[in-house]
Amino acid sequence: MGWVNLDIESLPGVDVVLDAARELPFHDVEAVYAEHFLEHLRIDAALAFLVRAQRALRPGAWLRLSTPNLDWVVRMQYDRKASGEEKAIRGLQLNRAFHGWGHQFLWNREALELVLAATGFEGLRFCRYGESALEIFSGIERHETYQDAPGEPHVLIVEARKGEVPSELLQRVRDFVRDEYLAHLEPMPRAMIDVEEME
């Protein structure tokens, strides 16, 4: 059948208009790909999307995500040795990465590994732009690129295979997100997107 392109807006090339953080009405799909999408979701919505994506995949099928690398942003945008105006400009650039372009939450490798494990993915492998051991994902990226730092890619690209959802780990991650992150936002979010809503 080929790819089905989803978006929250009706844009050219979009096959289905929906909010993938709130619904993903597919079952037994071969693959899910989300390019520069996860950073546009509040972290609880990202968790909800990953749970829905895991449920939509057929057993043993794969997810591929690409998202800006938080560690690259900090390394490239903030020089602690800078002074005066340059340091002020670097601070603005760093904040732009966090809040510009509709960004809600930036991810590092370790955070992605944790939430993918908590939402039922296994066999994680981080890839280079356009590269994959799976033909379906090979050469799939379309987003513009920036220069990688030595040993630090500007974008994290990860593939993960559908496994079982470890409900205890998922609950611990959700509790931590609620208590240590969402509780400190102004204004306080009305409600966390709840995994139980997805049943």
CATH numbers and ranges of domains, the chain: 27-198 (3.40.50)
Residue 191 CA to residue 182 CA, distance in Å, equals 9
DSSP state of 181: T
CB 147 within 8 A of CB 70: no
72: tokens are 């690259």
Q: Which helix (H) or strand (E) holds 54?
A: helix 43-56
pLDDT tens digits, the chain, 199 residues: what are they?
688 888 899 999 899 999 888 888 899 999 999 999 999 999 999 999 999 999 999 999 999 999 999 999 888 777 777 788 888 888 888 888 888 888 999 999 999 999 999 999 999 999 988 889 999 898 877 766 667 667 788 899 999 999 999 999 999 999 999 999 998 887 766 666 665 554 4
155: tokens are 């974008």
pTM (whole model) above 0.75? yes
Q: Which of 59, 53, 60 minimizes the C-alpha distance to 26?
A: 53
Residue-level length of the chain = 199
